[in-house]
A and B are shown apart, each in its own frame.
Chain A
Amino acid sequence: MTAPAAPTAPAPTAPAPTAPAPDAAPRWRNASPDRRAPLRRLGLALAVAAVLGFALFPVYWMVSSALDPGADGRGAALLPSGITWDHFRHVLERGGFGRYLLNSALVGAATVLLAGALALFAAVAVARFRFRLRTKVLIMVLVVQMVPLEALVIPLFLQMRELRLLDTLLGLVVVYVALSLPFAIWTLRGFVAAVPPEIEEAAYLDGCGWWRMFRSVLLPLVAPGLVATGVFSFILAWNEFVFAFAFLQDRSRYTAAVGLRYFAGPYATDWGAVMAGSTLITVPVLVFFVVVQRRLASGLAAGAVKG
């Protein structure tokens, strides 16, 4: 169900490469896997090493610097000079980072619940009903997704100021729900459409009303989609910087992404502390990614490919 559907692009008619001249054919036969195997394996190994290095080096450097007692003068030493939890203790106890993390978690959880509910209703509407303006609504959702959120900081700042929601976590939640809705609707629409209508019909034949069908049949079947979009919304809220930075003034209300900046002063940065804070922010996201890896990937692909 979650497997990305085959792209429906027209199958390319025979790949018409420059019609192989008769004397070209043997060349390809020579390049049989057997003769080129060692070279190919070496090439693959190098490529794998390069990808692993590029992808993981920043993660490794972050975690090892967070644990290194002499992080600031570490230079190019590949291994940390020792292992210590001091940096973590420092940011959590004296830096108040625990409070920031809690704020981020609260904002993230509220965003997931609200955005999930709103998006599911909307997705059912566009995937299961035919009504006038349906395509227009879908296109509008797609276009709204492309609006540069950064451009909305100014008007939303003024709007939240007028609603007296500036410098509150609720104001952030409201904004994040709006930001994650278009993508969530678009993705969930694919999951709802993938549930065979016959299952719903069977529920109706068994005497369910619409609401009962929704709760007992549709909801469990689109649960994987809800997990995928929920993770997406959570990560969006957890990572978001611009709005939190513009809206929040009181330090006790900082989210983690904003609080981290407090340790990175313009001149003297305590890098061990910054890396410890960065690790604390990254780890939950990393865990989420590992847990829902497959669903997330196929959900994103489904949302992206189904257009």
Chain B
Amino acid sequence: MRPRAGSAGSAGWRPRPGAHRSAGGRSACRRLAAPECRLRAARPWLLLAPALAVLATLLLWPLLRLLLLSFQEYGLREIRTGESQYVGIDNYRALLNDSFLWTTALPNTVGFAVVCVVLTVATGTLVALLLQRLGRVWRVVVSAAVMAAWAMPAVTGTHVWIWIFDPLGGPVSGGLDGLGLIEPRETNWFTDRWSFYAIAALNVVHHGFPFVAITVFAGLLTIPRELPEAATVDGAGAWQRFRYVTVPTLRPVFTVVTVLSTIWDFKVFAQIYLMPGGDGTNPSVLNLGVWSYVRSFGRNDYGQGAAIAVLLTALLLAVTALYVRTLFRERDER
């Protein structure tokens, strides 16, 4: 459909030597004088240089520094003097021996991410399938509503969900009180770990399903009409059409939205930190991201905080590696 430069299939168009100068390959160089040839070879690197410099100094170097910090004792004194004191794997030993990691922070992070990803992808896919079945007008209405949910920033969305579940003046407690189901002054959903994370999950799914819905819907539009029709003629029901036509055709799309949602949901920060008790005052609701932040900036133990952050990064890199491998395997199959 369009030139996929660089992928294995891009052999389709080959720049004729000299004719297409932007190709800048070695083949185009043969007839040119040496300086001009060198300029041509350098051009992509000149274009890339600013972006790569920014990425290197602001993403790669900090990542390396994070790793170094996790092997150091780094507190207020070190911040002031700028010295660094390597302590080997002490930070990791303390972290992995901390029962808090195994009973609270890690389950909060992983369990929450798994639940949110399943709910987000399921909700998004259902909404996409709904959009496909709607007429023109309602499709515009529903997708506008979905866009509105998407547009709501995580920070404001979190405040709104806190307000909705506010034990004193919020609609949920007000409604349940009106039905005589709860005693509003004695109910606070933010103190209990499970209800705290249920509210956070509602917030994260509400914020995340639009991306899945819109992306899957865009994918659905690309399925040739003949495929589901042929399946119907062959006697397939709605579920079978979804299972045997839609899912295999859109597998790359599903892979991407699942992995991206996983990555986003693993590292939620603002949605937890801003909730009552989420900033460390209620330790039972800490996840890895917030724990790392509180350790570093609350207790000035940057080395230990860095070790937690490294653990989180390692978890995410594992997911990413899976993602890249899946993507490239699919490309090879084509």
A: which residues have CB within 8 A of B?
A: 4-12, 14-17, 20, 24-25, 28, 44, 47-48, 51-52, 54-59, 61-62, 65, 71-77, 117-119, 121-122, 124-131, 134-135, 137-139, 141-144, 146-159, 161-162, 174-175, 177-178, 181-182, 185, 193-194, 196-197, 200-201, 204, 210, 213, 235, 238-239, 241-242, 246, 257, 260-261, 264, 266, 269, 271, 274-275, 277-279, 281-282, 285-286, 288-290, 293, 297-298, 300-301, 304-307
Among candidates B60, B160, B171, B253, residue contacting A144 with C-beta atoms closer than 8 Å: B60
Which of B62, B152, B155, B274 is packed against the most chain A CB atoms within 10 Å? B155
Flag if A6 contacts B222 (CB, 8 Å). Answer: yes
Which of B25, B148, B333 is packed against the most chain A CB atoms within 10 Å? B148
Flag if B66 contacts A125 (CB, 8 Å). Answer: no
Flag if B251 contacts A55 (CB, 8 Å). Answer: no
Flag if B269 contacts A197 (CB, 8 Å). Answer: no
Within 8 A of A (CB), among B186-232: 206, 210-211, 214-215, 218-219, 221-222, 224, 227, 230-232
Per-residue A-contact encoding for B303-334, CB less than 8 Å = 1, 0 else: 00110011011001101100110010011011
Query: B41 contacts which chain A residues (CB < 8 A)?
Result: 131
Flag if B310 contacts A144 (CB, 8 Å). Answer: no
Flag if A146 contacts B222 (CB, 8 Å). Answer: no
| B interface secondary structure, majority | helix
Closest CB of chain A to B305's CB: distance in Å? Answer: 6
Question: A12 to B57, alpha carbons, bound, how many Å?
Answer: 45
Question: A5 to B214, alpha carbons, bound, how many Å?
Answer: 15
**Contacts beyond the supplied A178-B55, A304-B253: 8 A-B pairs with Cβ under 8 Å:** A4-B219, A47-B130, A72-B169, A146-B323, A152-B309, A182-B55, A204-B21, A239-B155
| A interface secondary structure, majority | helix
Among candidates B156, B234, B250, residue contacting A20 with C-beta atoms closer than 8 Å: B234
Query: B274 contacts which chain A residues (CB < 8 A)?
Result: 241, 261, 264
Closest CB of chain A to B41's CB: distance in Å? Answer: 7
Query: B270 contacts which chain A residues (CB < 8 A)?
Result: 241-242, 257
Q: Does B180 contact A (CB under 8 A)?
A: no
Query: B297 contacts which chain A residues (CB < 8 A)?
Result: 157, 246
Query: A125 contacts which chain B residues (CB < 8 A)?
Result: 43-45, 47-48
Closest CB of chain A to B54's CB: distance in Å? Answer: 5
Count, chain B residues at interface, CB 8 A: 139
Query: A61 contacts which chain B residues (CB < 8 A)?
Result: 160, 163-164, 171
The residue on A at minimum CB distance from B129 is A47
Q: Does B17 contact A (CB under 8 A)?
A: no
B: which residues have CB within 8 A of A?
A: 1-6, 13, 15, 19-25, 41, 43-45, 47-48, 50-52, 54-55, 57-63, 65-66, 69, 79, 82, 126-127, 130, 133-134, 138, 141-157, 159-164, 166, 169-172, 174-175, 177-178, 206, 210-211, 214-215, 218-219, 221-222, 224, 227, 230-232, 234-237, 240-241, 244-245, 248-253, 256-257, 260, 263, 266-267, 269-270, 273-274, 276, 281, 289, 292-293, 296-297, 302, 305-306, 309-310, 312-313, 316-317, 319-320, 323-324, 327, 330-331, 333-334
Query: A152 contacts which chain B residues (CB < 8 A)?
Result: 59, 62-63, 66, 309
Query: A200 contacts which chain B residues (CB < 8 A)?
Result: 20, 22
Flag if B235 contacts A24 (CB, 8 Å). Answer: yes
Do A288 and B151 contact each other (CB < 8 Å), given the known contacts A155-B62, A278-B160? yes
Flag if A300 contacts B215 (CB, 8 Å). Answer: yes
Query: A305 contacts which chain B residues (CB < 8 A)?
Result: 215, 218-219, 252-253, 256
Query: A11 contacts which chain B residues (CB < 8 A)?
Result: 224, 227, 249
Query: A149 contacts which chain B residues (CB < 8 A)?
Result: 267
Question: A304 to B218, alpha carbons, bound, how many Å?
Answer: 11
Closest CB of chain B to A193's CB: distance in Å? Answer: 5
Do A55 and B149 contact each other (CB < 8 Å), given the known contacts A20-B234, A154-B296, A197-B20? yes
Closest CB of chain A to B208's CB: distance in Å? Answer: 12
Query: A117 contacts which chain B residues (CB < 8 A)?
Result: 50
Question: A138 to B33, alpha carbons, bound, how many Å?
Answer: 30
Query: B159 contacts which chain A residues (CB < 8 A)?
Result: 260, 264, 274-275, 278
Query: A59 contacts which chain B residues (CB < 8 A)?
Result: 148-149, 152
The residue on A at minimum CB distance from B211 is A300
Question: A74 to B121, alpha carbons, bound, how many Å?
Answer: 34
Among candidates B43, B149, B249, residue contacting A12 with C-beta atoms closer than 8 Å: B249
Question: A158 to B82, alpha carbons, bound, how many Å?
Answer: 10
Flag if A138 contacts B127 (CB, 8 Å). Answer: no
Question: What 4 A-B pairs come out closest when comparing CB atoms?
Answer: A75-B174, A20-B235, A178-B58, A76-B174
Query: B232 contacts which chain A residues (CB < 8 A)?
Result: 28
Flag if A144 contacts B55 (CB, 8 Å). Answer: yes
Question: A159 to B66, alpha carbons, bound, how many Å?
Answer: 11
Question: A131 to B317, alpha carbons, bound, how many Å?
Answer: 27
Do A52 and B142 contact each other (CB < 8 Å), given the known contacts A156-B62, A158-B65, A275-B163? yes
Flag if B148 contacts A55 (CB, 8 Å). Answer: yes
Question: A8 to B248, alpha carbons, bound, how many Å?
Answer: 11
Flag if A304 contacts B163 (CB, 8 Å). Answer: no
Flag if A194 contacts B2 (CB, 8 Å). Answer: yes
Among candidates A139, A275, A306, residue contacting B160 with C-beta atoms closer than 8 Å: A275
The residue on B at minimum CB distance from A44 is B133
Question: A13 to B149, alpha carbons, bound, how many Å?
Answer: 38
Do A281 and B24 contact each other (CB < 8 Å), given the known contacts A75-B169, A76-B178? no
Flag if B43 contacts A210 (CB, 8 Å). Answer: yes
Among candidates B63, B142, B252, residue contacting A48 with C-beta atoms closer than 8 Å: B142
Flag if B160 contacts A289 (CB, 8 Å). Answer: no
Could you list 14 examples of A-B contacts with CB < 8 Å?
A4-B222, A10-B334, A15-B234, A55-B146, A58-B157, A58-B164, A129-B25, A137-B52, A154-B66, A157-B296, A182-B55, A271-B169, A304-B260, A307-B252
